[in-house]
Amino acid sequence: MKIKLGLLFFFSAYALGSSAQNLLNLNEWVTGPGGITGFTANGLATENEREWGIGPQGRQVIVWKGTPSGDQNGDGGWNSSDIAINNQKTYRYTVWIKKTNSKTGTTYLGCSPGVNTLAGVANNNPYFWYGNLPELDRWYLLVGYVHGSNDPSTVSSGAIYDGVTGKKVISMTDYKFASTTTATRHRSYLYYDPNVNDRQYFYGPRLEEVNGNEPTISSLLDNPIGTGDFFFAGKVGIKTETPGDYDLAVNGKIRSQEIKVETANWPDYVFKEDYKLPSLAETEKFIRSNGHLPDVPKASELETNGVSLGEMNKLLVQKIEELTLHLIEKDKVLEQVIERLEKSEQILSKLPKEKNGKK
């Protein structure tokens, strides 16, 4: 039994804090009442308890349980300790939450003061979202963002995702750090619930800098099985946890029936009268000097940086169109040569023929 509990604790701790990207200290996320180091309980100690339960994706994990006492005040959840941040960077706040029994009370996910709305208005009690989750007895992933102080974006990316289907079900409000802010907090609650039979479960809180190394929303959702479209506010990595500058990064092969690449400035400008078509002599000179076609990247660059399908297709079409113009011009020249040859043959056919070496 001790071995089983030890393994369960190991896997629960691994799932909670497997990435060094998480700025929250989950080392003391173990069974027991009240708060823990780094997490001050919201409400009474008897309203907060960590216990073994079934978490998202059906795994047995340690969840934080909120149990209302009926005082209709703080009924479970936490305020994290202050976490040092760089206010010019963007940070993401996430937590899994499940409510049972009834929809009385209010669920919250927020951060600490020191932020503005995306319109630049100060907010001293900021919540990404508060309200009732769509369904009882169902895990939801709540994802909030605080943008860097210099970020010009006015569009919120925060959302609540269904833990079964992976679909975005509720939009949330993003904020922006004030230029003087040096720390933040992760705070998630159940509040104002008079029903002592209600329970709210929390799992897997995360606070991390958005820098391309944070787990994708897809990986946090653990690719839930369900029908319908998927929406991801952040980057998606398949077989990689570091998508970097790419919205979708795949460390492996891709098979598809069709791929559509949207592009602009398609090279039909080659057919305009003011386009300067390089002569074949100029192209030959360039090839001899550089070892590749004009405008086409070197092989070494492509081997290092990969191929941008949209840009490469535009270049290939440009070269095909240039080649077509050259072929049209050469065809005209060839027709002229044939015409001259035919005229020459006609002239020659009318000349007196020699007989026995004499005219």
Task: Tell me how far apart the alpha carbons of residues 72 and 79 are, in angstroms, rounded to a whole number.
Answer: 18
Residue 255 falls inside a structural domain = no
Q: What dihedral angle (degrees, nearest 10) is formed by the CA atoms of 36, 42, 46, 51?
A: -50
Task: Tell me how far apart the alpha carbons of residues 214 and 219 are, in angstroms, rounded to a whole number.
Answer: 10
Inter-residue contact 110 to 127 (CB < 8 Å): yes
Q: Which residues of 87-113 are buried (b: 16+ CB within 10 A; e: fewer)?
A: bebbbbbbbbbbbeeebbbebbbbbbe
Pair 44, 191 in one domain: yes
Quote the Cα angle for 24-112-234, to 5°: 60
Pair 164, 103 in one domain: yes
Pair 71, 215 in one domain: yes
Three-state DSSP class for 55? coil
Pair 288, 166 in one domain: no
Phi, psi of 318 (to 5 degrees): -60, -45
Report the predicted TM-score, pTM, of the whole model to 2 decimal places.
Answer: 0.62
Enumerate residue ranges in the chain where pLDDT < 50: 1-15, 17-19, 224-229
Q: What is the DSSP letter of 355?
A: B
Residue 50 falls inside a structural domain = yes
Measured CA to CA in angstroms, residue 346 lies from 338, 339, 341 at distances of 12, 11, 9
Pair 85, 224 in one domain: yes
Neighbours of 145 (CB within 10 A): 26
Q: Which domain holds residue 288?
A: 267-274+280-350
Pair 203, 339 in one domain: no
Nearest Cα residue to 145 out of 191, 111, 114? 111
Neighbours of 55 (CB within 10 A): 22
Pair 52, 115 in one domain: yes
Pair 302, 240 in one domain: no
pLDDT of amino acid 343: 86
Task: Tell me how far apart the alpha carbons of residues 277 and 263 are, in angstroms, rounded to a whole number.
Answer: 23
Residue 212 falls inside a structural domain = yes
Task: Tell me how far apart the alpha carbons of residues 204 and 220 are, in angstroms, rounded to a whole number.
Answer: 9
Burial class (CB in 10 A: 0-12, 13-18, 19+), 164: middle
Neighbours of 26 (CB within 10 A): 20
Q: What is the CATH number of the domain that holds 144?
A: 2.60.120.260
**Residue type, position 120, single letter:** G
Residue 355 falls inside a structural domain = no
Residue with tokens 């002229």: 336
Residue 117 falls inside a structural domain = yes
**Residue type, position 207, single letter:** L
Measured CA to CA in angstroms, residue 110 lies from 95, 230, 295 at distances of 10, 24, 51
Burial class (CB in 10 A: 0-12, 13-18, 19+), 277: middle
pLDDT of amino acid 234: 62
Nearest Cα residue to 196 out of 46, 35, 95, 54? 46
**Residue type, position 46, single letter:** T
Pair 79, 213 in one domain: yes
Number of domains composing the chain? 2
Pair 139, 83 in one domain: yes
Task: Tell me how far apart the alpha carbons of residues 231 and 356 are, in angstroms, rounded to a whole number.
Answer: 94
Residue 25 falls inside a structural domain = yes
Residue 60 falls inside a structural domain = yes
pLDDT of amino acid 355: 60
Three-state DSSP class for 274? coil
pLDDT of amino acid 41: 97
Pair 184, 297 in one domain: no
Sequence-distant (6+) residues with CB within 8 A of 181 are 85, 87, 114, 115, 149
Task: Tell me how far apart the alpha carbons of residues 58 and 39 are, in angstroms, rounded to a whole number.
Answer: 25
Q: Region of 114 please: left (phi>0), alpha (psi -120 to 50) or beta.
A: left
